[in-house]
Amino acid sequence: MKLTFIGANHEVTGSCHCLEACGKKILVDYGMEQGGNVYENAELPIPYSDVDYVLVTHAHIDHVGLLPLIYARGFRGQIMATRATCDLCDIMLKDCAHIQESEAEWKNRKAMRAGKPEVTPIYTMNDAEGVLHHFVPCNYNEIIRLNDNLEIRFVDVGHLLGSASIEIWMKEDDCSKKIVFSGDIGNKNKPLIRSPQYIRQADYVVMESTYGDRNHGPAPDYVQELADIIKETFDRGGNVVIPSFAVGRTQELLYFLRDIVNNNRIPGYSEIPVYVDSPLAVEATNVFNKNVKGYFDEEAMSLINQGINPITFPGLKISVTSDESKAINFDSRSKVIISASGMCDAGRIRHHLKHNLWRAESTIVFVGFQAIGTLGRSLLEGTKTVKLFGESITVNANIVRLHGISGHADQAGLLRWLSAFKNKPERVFVVHGEASICDSFAALLQEQGYDALAPNLRASFDLATNTCLEMGVLPEPKKVKETTRVSSVFQRLVNAGQRLMAVIRHNEGGANKDLAKFADQINSLCDKWDR
């Protein structure tokens, strides 16, 4: 029973953990680095082709964004996730692959002009579509047997549609252990989705700490606060621009805006134009509408049972094409614009910021976490000028944050989730937080009597004996370099060779006739390519 920490150690994104137990090799999440993070995940301690299962907590890119990469490197196992997570990954991974290919194409046009070697995308659309065939939808609270000594269960953790904590029961020889991976723990009383469900027993817990150093405070009246912002901005003749994550946060905002519009909470404005300018957000909203039963909370289900769609309303406009997106900024009416990305580091939101940041009458509303180094973080910290598309823009717009509107539990929420365990776990591993927060939250848990630590990158532990096998290292800034097409393709060949070895091992015990035929085919291939 060996647990190795691959990513999101003393940092917020890139979540990945490797568990080797009961004859199986399992990854819990495989996320991409996002925002201003300058670190990179450790390499797996095993070949990608040897991974039997990936267990997915939820569909955010910092938890699933590198799944197409492991497919490209030879993974052909099963990916277990809730049904809603499977549906969201279907759109998110394709979108991410499109971004990778588009960025590589743009870089290669520059490289050709400069006489530099071509680069390859991290992965391709073919890789994204290939890995999607390996998803296996699972139900909440259903115990799933992976083999005679290994079982898992997904428990609603209230962070995103389909998000889950994952329970894993393991038995080797006479040793039985249970480990729980929290995933991202949600807030209580969020719109649309249910509050986090609690787990009562575990020997080990791996838990996030995004807001482990602060509390959100009393939940404000989001609807009224947002209504006040819209009215004040519209009175000035400006636009309300909301950088929002396409999946989860956008749908919450639509829920609030439906309340504002349907209940006439802004006197004097009979029409409130609202634009959702993100093809991904549009597709994600369709997934939300599809996954209702078993995922939505009682309040949302009550609306649905009355024939009311909780995330649509008069005045809502959908922008999919680039021409539709451009047209928004030529509409002189005051309006609400919801656009991705949520941290302003890419996407259409940057165009809307270019058109509104310099306008004192406009308001930029932040509704989620802004990582260090992102444009969103800079704006919240009071920067006076920003550069967008090579142009310096003076920041005159009103910059506000809706406090408390977060998909992550605060410190009190994290402690509430952990305290639900009837007995203190043997050890708590603190991950998925900025370096100082991981350490301070682990120290807080120690003060409360927990055996807690924030593991380093590549740290590994023997769960049977609760001993550290390798201390690992603190993440170091990655060296910025482009991967050339030659080296990338050669690595693809190496990965294919590793997969071949995995296939050979899978055929152990087969009929001698079949094994001899397989060996002859391999030797024939080697004869052709040995140079």
Distance CA 151, CA 140 (A): 14
Least reliable range by pLDDT among 21-35, 61-75, 92-106, 454-468: 92-106
pLDDT of residue 63: 96
Higher-pLDDT residue of 406, 310:
310
Tokens 């939820």 locate to 58
> What's the CATH number for 222-401?
3.40.50.10890
Residue 71 DSSP SS3: helix
Strands 164-172, 150-156: pairing is antiparallel
- Tell me the average pLDDT across 292-302: 91
DSSP-derived secondary structure letter, 410: B
**pLDDT tens column, 348-359:** 999 999 999 999
**pLDDT tens column, 322-378:** 999 999 999 899 999 999 888 888 789 999 999 999 999 999 999 887 877 889 999
Q: Give the CA dihedral 398, 368, 415, 28, nearest 10 degrees.
A: -160
**pLDDT tens column, 46-104:** 999 999 999 999 999 999 999 999 999 999 999 999 999 999 999 999 988 988 888 88
Distance CA 438, CA 427 (A): 15
- Residues 432 and 39: beta-carbon distance below 8 Å: no
- Residue 524 CB partners (closer than 8 Å, separation 6+): none
- Residue 131 CB partners (closer than 8 Å, separation 6+): 67, 68, 70, 71, 75, 79, 93
Question: What's the whole-model pTM score?
Answer: 0.85
Least reliable range by pLDDT among 206-220, 226-240, 437-451, 459-473: 206-220
Distance CA 315, CA 21 (A): 54
- Residues 6 and 41: beta-carbon distance below 8 Å: yes
pLDDT of residue 486: 43
Provide the β-strand partners of residue 4: 18, 460
Q: Which pairs count as long-range contacts for 257-261, CB under 8 Å and 24+ apart, including other chains?
A: 257/226, 257/313, 257/316, 257/336, 258/309, 258/310, 258/311, 258/312, 258/313, 259/223, 260/223, 260/226, 260/227, 260/230, 261/313, 261/314, 261/315
Residue closest to 365 by CA, chosen among 215, 213, 241, 194: 241
Phi/psi at 3 (5° precision): -115, 125
- Tell me the average pLDDT across 235-258: 93
Residue 479 pLDDT level (bands cut at 50, 70, 90): low
Annotated domain spans of the chain: 2-215+407-470, 222-401, 485-529
Distance CA 86, CA 83 (A): 5
pLDDT of residue 424: 97
Distance CA 40, CA 62 (A): 12
Q: CA angle, 478 as apex, 475 and 479 as ends, to 5°? A: 150
Tokens 């990305």 locate to 341
Q: Is 66 exposed, middle or buried (0-12, 13-18, 19+ CB in 10 A)?
A: buried
The domain 2-215+407-470 is classified under which CATH number: 3.60.15.10, 3.50.50.60, 3.20.20.70, 3.30.930.10?
Answer: 3.60.15.10
